[in-house]
Amino acid sequence: MDLAENLGQLKTSGWASVPVKEELRRNAIARVRADEPLFDGVLGYENTVAPQLENALLAGHDVVFLGERGQAKTRMIRSCINLLDEWMPIIAGSEINDDPLNPVSKYAKDLVEAEGDDTKISWVHRSNRFAEKLATPDTSIADLIGEVDPIKVAEGRYLSDELTLHYGMVPRSNRGLFAINELPDLAERIQVGLLNVLEERDVQIRGYRIQLPLDIMLFASANPEDYTNRGRIITPLKDRFGTQIRTHYPLEIDTEIDIVEQEADVFSSDDLEVSVPDFMMEIVATMSHLARDNPHINQRSGVSVRLSIANYETLVASAVRRTLRQGGHKAVPRIADLPSLVPSTMGKIEIESMDDGRDIEIIEHLTSAATVVTFKSALDHNEVSDVLDAFEEGEAVVQTGDDIADTDYLDMVKNMPALGTALTALGYAPDDLSDSALVASGVEFILEGLHLSKRLNKESMGASAVYRSR
């Protein structure tokens, strides 16, 4: 692509400027016609949030996302960058991306008037047309809109000269996208200033008023409880947004699993293989879903998908640590690794009451509940009845735990064939039944599931557990 170097070449090329919202609309329409997804890497929103955002873009609306933490609000906003044109021309040296055919700053206007078609042109990539600000109570007008630059005043300019201004983030996002995260955390006077620059198109800095017809697509995010008339948002600014979209956590376990597989940073090594059975992954995802309905957990702050991701990574790390200590070459998470999820869970949820170790008890309850839910969905009573019979008839006692080698579980299956039958019902292929690490994981899952279903007794002894008939 040949890019014009001056204003004259740009005019000759036939390039025409369009508002940023029209640019987004045009490119969104092209993707829809080509049957291409508008947003990549966002799962679980295909039939809920994504259509609403597509409608907002086609309508040319500013958008506010309402949702708890970890609901991909920022990722959805950032994904809109890909709907911008790849390159955009500006007046060279402009701080606010002045349109060469319609400059708005004094600097650009004076430059075009002086140099005409010889005015130099620069090109900005779409990745540089996005800015975001985390709203905090100490955010100032200078941060968002601008401030008088004392150095420029010292150089001899008058305060009444627009060139004395140092522009803030909003003017510098002209002809692009600007996002404010946690919008209600802005002080009300700052919200008023933001409303003024976006709606009235003028800026007042230390009593000096200038007209800035900015061309911006505005995004914001907020917690639903804060984004109300009774919260910390002023009504006129709330009215500024054309579309309000409510986000949500994954509605299905499978969706949560897909997100974890996409986002997790899993351990890898040339001399150590890592394999995670489906039922262990499902326990991790189910644990997060149960936490979102638990009355002992603060639901206002939410239970982010990051909980599932962190727990999955911790589960794998625990399996790797055990395998390294035992001198093995294949790490497969098992029930014995679940206690390792307490530290990674503690940092991702807020327990309402943390007296007398209640927080650890709640997390352990979540882990057990997730295990029994997963067990009941994976195996029915008939598929494990032979295991129960083997315990009752032979008065069998089985010991499991983090200190039991993977190979010992092959002997368990050999001595109790019913376990092998149950593993087959769980989805194990014939080759899997000779894989000691996989067998160890499956055996612990079956035994723990039977215990939590109140069909086997269990005695815990540190890192080990003994299962026997009731």
237: pLDDT confidence band, cut at 50, 70 and 90?
confident
Residue 339's pLDDT is 93
Nearest-angstrom CA–CA distance, 155 and 303? 53
Residue 18's pLDDT is 94
Per-residue pLDDT for 136 more than 80? yes
pLDDT for 63-81, tens place per residue? 999 998 889 999 999 999 9
3-state SS class at 439: helix
Mean of pLDDT values over 215-227 = 87
3-state SS class at 384: helix
Per-residue pLDDT for 187 more than 90? no
Residue 27's pLDDT is 95
For 29, the enclosing helix (H) or strand (E) is helix 20-33
Structure tokens at 222: 């907020």
Kindly list the structural domains of the chain, giving each domain's residue range(s) and its CATH number in brackets, ordered by start.
Answer: 7-246 (3.40.50.300), 253-469 (no CATH)
Query: pTM to 2 decimals?
Result: 0.86
Nearest-angstrom CA–CA distance, 128 and 84? 11
3-state SS class at 97: coil
Structure tokens at 280: 């262990």
Mean of pLDDT values over 51-63 = 93
Residue 196's pLDDT is 73
Is residue 195 a contact partner of residue 240, using CB atoms and an 8 Å limit?
A: yes
Percent of the chain with pLDDT over 90: 61
Higher pLDDT: 460 or 165? It is 460
> Maximum Cα–Cα distance for the chain, whole Å?
99
Mean of pLDDT values over 366-375 = 96
Nearest-angstrom CA–CA distance, 120 and 5? 6
117: pLDDT confidence band, cut at 50, 70 and 90?
very high
Question: How many angstroms separate the Cα of 414 from the Cα of each of 189, 409, 417, 420, 443?
Answer: 74, 9, 6, 8, 12
Angle, helices 49-59 vs 20-33, to 10°: value is 130
Residue 347's pLDDT is 84
pLDDT for 425-442, tens place per residue? 999 999 999 999 999 999
Residue 357's pLDDT is 64
Is residue 41 a contact partner of residue 8, using CB atoms and an 8 Å limit?
A: no
158: pLDDT confidence band, cut at 50, 70 and 90?
low
Nearest-angstrom CA–CA distance, 264 and 222? 26
395: pLDDT confidence band, cut at 50, 70 and 90?
low
pLDDT, mean over the chain: 89
Structure tokens at 42: 């966002």
CA atoms within 13 A on the CB side of 179: 21
Mean of pLDDT values over 157-182 = 82
3-state SS class at 399: strand
Outline where DSSP puts E strands in 339-433. Answer: 397-401
470: pLDDT confidence band, cut at 50, 70 and 90?
confident
For 58, the enclosing helix (H) or strand (E) is helix 49-59
Angle, helices 436-452 vs 417-425, to 10°: value is 90
Nearest-angstrom CA–CA distance, 431 and 405? 19
Per-residue pLDDT for 153 more than 80? no
Higher pLDDT: 296 or 231? It is 296
Higher pLDDT: 53 or 205? It is 53
3-state SS class at 271: coil
Structure tokens at 420: 């092998």
Nearest-angstrom CA–CA distance, 348 and 345? 5
pLDDT for 224-233, tens place per residue? 877 765 567 8
Question: How many angstroms separate the Cα of 286 from the Cα of each of 279, 369, 437?
Answer: 10, 9, 23
193: pLDDT confidence band, cut at 50, 70 and 90?
confident
> Which residue in 376, 349, 370 sits closest to 360, CA to CA?
349
Residue 291's pLDDT is 94
Per-residue pLDDT for 348 more than 70? yes
Residue 275's pLDDT is 93
